[in-house]
Structures are given as structure tokens and as C-alpha cells.
């Protein structure tokens, strides 16, 4: 049953058997694990996962692939959620959830933000991502890759790059390199934002105009006395502040 990759779904199917084996080794699934795969596609990870797991959940938007999976696997093996992962309620899958997937490049960033709200349900996540996205996720302050994505994800997760995946490992061959990331939710952030919505607003405002100073980007939130009290130089830019400093700003304003 042939399936032509669809650009609108960002489909690049993993075909390299050695890379697939390496990913499964990194995930290290165990028989009773509660696993959900996002975007199973043609089953490159689905099949080897089911060689170990009793059962696997998958979330897939493409109805042709849903029909294909429905024919190939039994309902005892596979529960298929025909849904958009960006809108899917991952809490219905219960706790101790392990999330895996080859994420479409065109939705990877919003999907990571969506999954962040379910961090209490999640044990860990292994994803294939565009290498440049992963670089932004794990970037350190005062580097060009450090931004809103870095701050918001580092507040919730420990993350590390596992290995690089070359373009020729896929069909069709993408124009970019990919990488595997391992993400583990922090049991509790080192510094807790008392108002996480306010924390998110501040981070978004700070990075809205990267080249401007904090005095300009945060002028709706902080006055000169606030900068003094927080011991933050208002002439610095958003990329110069650590996650902890953003939390301190949010907690100072929340008082």
C-alpha cells in the first residue's frame, strides 16, 4: 500500500534501519510502559516499539495513514487517535506517559509548547527535530540561539541532544539536518514562577524585539526602580538573562 508524502503535513519518513535501531535503543522501551507516538507515519518506530510493548497509543492527523495503521495492527496492539497533536488532550492517556515521535518540522515549536502543559503527566520524551530547533531549545544565555523557546522549555525540562540524523535517512530527503532530543520534566523548577502566565508574558515581551534593550522591551512591566531592585542592567538584551532572572522578574511583579 503506497503512500506519497504530503508537504502540508510536513511528512519526511524515516527509512534508515540503523538510525531507527539507535532511536529505539535510546528510548529503551519496557513491556508495561505507557507510550504515545506522535505522527507514526509508515510505522518506522511503531513496529519496533510494538516488538517490546504490550500496547501503543498513536496520534495521527493524516486519514490515509490512519486507515493504513488500522489495517496493519490490531486494536489490542494499537490505539489510534485520529487527531491533530496540536489540539490533542494528552491527559486522557493517563500518567507516567512516555512521548516519542518524528515531529513534522512545520509544527515542532508549537507542539513543544502544547506538550509543556502536560509535563506533570509525562515521564520523558524522545523526539526527532530539525537540528536548528534543538540548538535553540538547549542554548545558553548570551548566545544567538538563546530565545523564548530556550527559556520556556528550560523552565520545565532537562534536555540534551542525543545524536545527529543526516538528511539521507529520510524519504523524501529534507534540506536540513535532524537530531534526536531527550527531554525529562523537572520534578520542580529550581525557581518557581508564582504566576506562570505572567512569566510567559514577560519572556514573550522581552524577546519580541531581540535587538532592543530590556529598558525598551519591558517598559510596560518594569520601571527604573524595579531594575535596581532586581539588580538587572536595563541596557542588556533579552538573550542576556537566565531563566532564573526571568522567574525573578515575574515573581517581583506578582507581589
66: pLDDT strictly greater than 60: yes
CATH number of domain containing 40 = 3.40.50.150
Is position 73 within any domain? Answer: yes
Is residue 108 domain-shared with residue 207, that is, in the same domain?
A: no
Is position 14 within any domain? Answer: yes
Q: How far apart are CA 82 and CA 65, in angstroms?
A: 9
Residue 1 is predicted with a pLDDT of 47
Is residue 93 domain-shared with residue 145, that is, in the same domain?
A: yes
Quote the domain boundaries for residue 249. Answer: 196-254
Peptide bond before residue 172 is cis, with ω within 30 degrees of 0: yes
Round the CA-based radius of gyration of the chain to a whole number and report it: 20
Residue 11 is predicted with a pLDDT of 55
Is residue 69 domain-shared with residue 105, that is, in the same domain?
A: yes
Is position 35 within any domain? Answer: yes
Q: Among the three residues 131, 156, 185, which one is the final residue of a domain in this structure?
A: 185
pLDDT band at 254 (very low <50, low <70, confident <90, very high): very high
Is position 190 within any domain? Answer: no
Is residue 200 domain-shared with residue 180, that is, in the same domain?
A: no
pLDDT band at 185 (very low <50, low <70, confident <90, very high): very high
Is residue 208 domain-shared with residue 246, that is, in the same domain?
A: yes
CATH number of domain containing 214 = 1.10.8.100
Is residue 21 domain-shared with residue 87, that is, in the same domain?
A: yes
10: pLDDT strictly greater than 50: no
pLDDT band at 104 (very low <50, low <70, confident <90, very high): confident
Q: Nearest CA to 118 among 138, 92, 100?
A: 92
* Residue 250 phi, psi dihedral angles, 5° rounding: -60, -40
Is position 1 within any domain? Answer: no
Give the percent of the chain with pLDDT over 70. 96
Is position 81 within any domain? Answer: yes
Is residue 147 domain-shared with residue 24, that is, in the same domain?
A: yes
Is residue 101 domain-shared with residue 207, that is, in the same domain?
A: no
Q: Which residue has the higher pLDDT, 4 or 226?
A: 226
Q: Among the three residues 164, 185, 206, which one is the final residue of a domain in this structure?
A: 185
Residue 120 is predicted with a pLDDT of 92
Q: Nearest CA to 127 among 45, 56, 51?
A: 45
pLDDT band at 7 (very low <50, low <70, confident <90, very high): very low
> What cell was used for 114?
502544547
Q: How many domains does the chain have?
A: 2
- Lowest mean pLDDT, pick from 80-84, 103-107, 125-129, 219-223: 103-107
Is position 21 within any domain? Answer: yes
pLDDT band at 30 (very low <50, low <70, confident <90, very high): very high
Is residue 207 domain-shared with residue 175, that is, in the same domain?
A: no
Give pLDDT tens digits for 114-156: 999 999 999 999 999 999 999 999 999 999 999 999 999 999 9
Residue 9 is predicted with a pLDDT of 44
Q: Nearest CA to 180 among 117, 143, 148, 137?
A: 137
Is residue 71 domain-shared with residue 136, that is, in the same domain?
A: yes
- Lowest mean pLDDT, pick from 10-19, 37-46, 147-156, 199-208: 10-19
Asked if 104 and 131 count as a contact pair (C-beta separation under 8 A), the reply is: no
Q: Among the three residues 157, 185, 213, which one is the final residue of a domain in this structure?
A: 185
Residue 8 is predicted with a pLDDT of 45
Q: What b-and-e string marks burial along 39-55, b requiring 16 or more CB atoms within 10 Å of the CB?
A: bbbbbbbbebbbeebee
Asked if 39 and 115 count as a contact pair (C-beta separation under 8 A), the reply is: no
Q: For residues 10-27, give the mean pLDDT.
A: 88
Indicate the average pLDDT of the chain. Answer: 93
Give pLDDT tens digits for 198-216: 999 999 999 999 999 999 9
Is residue 163 domain-shared with residue 244, that is, in the same domain?
A: no
Is residue 245 domain-shared with residue 173, that is, in the same domain?
A: no
Amino acid at each position: 500500500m503506497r503512500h506519497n508524502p504530503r508537504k502540508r503535513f510536513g511528512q519526511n519518513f524515516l527509512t534508515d534501519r540503523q538510525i531507527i535501531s539507535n532511536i529505539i535503543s535510546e528510548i529503551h522501551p519496557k513491556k508495561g510502559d505507557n507510550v504515545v507516538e506522535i505522527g507514526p507515519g509508515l510505522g518506522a518506530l511503531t513496529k519496533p516499539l510494538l516488538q517490546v510493548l504490550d500496547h501503543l497509543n498513536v496520534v495521527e492527523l493524516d486519514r490515509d495513514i490512519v486507515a493504513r495503521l488500522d489495517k496493519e495492527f490490531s486494536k489490542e496492539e494499537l490505539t489510534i487517535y485520529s487527531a491533530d497533536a496540536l489540539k490533542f488532550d494528552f491527559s486522557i492517556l493517563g500518567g507516567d506517559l512516555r512521548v516519542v515521535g518524528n515531529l513534522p518540522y512545520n509544527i515542532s515549536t508549537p507542539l513543544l509548547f502544547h506538550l509543556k502543559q502536560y509535563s506533570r503527566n509525562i515521564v520523558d520524551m524522545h523526539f526527532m527535530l530539525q537540528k536548528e530547533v534543538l540548538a535553540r531549545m538547549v542554548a545558553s544565555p548570551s548566545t544567538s540561539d538563546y530565545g523564548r523557546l530556550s527559556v520556556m522549555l528550560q523552565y520545565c525540562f532537562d534536555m540534551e541532544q542525543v545524536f545527529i540524523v543526516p538528511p539521507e535517512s529520510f524519504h523524501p530527503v529534507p534540506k536540513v539536518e535532524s537530531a534526536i532530543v531527550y527531554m525529562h520534566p523537572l520534578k520542580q523548577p529550581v525557581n518557581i514562577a508564582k504566576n506562570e502566565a505572567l512569566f510567559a508574558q514577560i519572556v514573550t515581551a522581552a524577546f519580541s524585539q531581540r535587538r532592543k534593550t530590556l529598558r525598551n522591551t519591558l517598559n510596560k512591566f518594569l520601571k527604573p526602580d524595579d531594575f535596581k531592585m532586581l539588580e538587572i542592567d536595563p541596557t542588556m538584551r533579552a538573550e542576556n538573562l537566565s531563566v532564573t532572572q526571568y522567574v525573578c522578574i515575574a515573581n517581583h511583579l506578582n507581589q
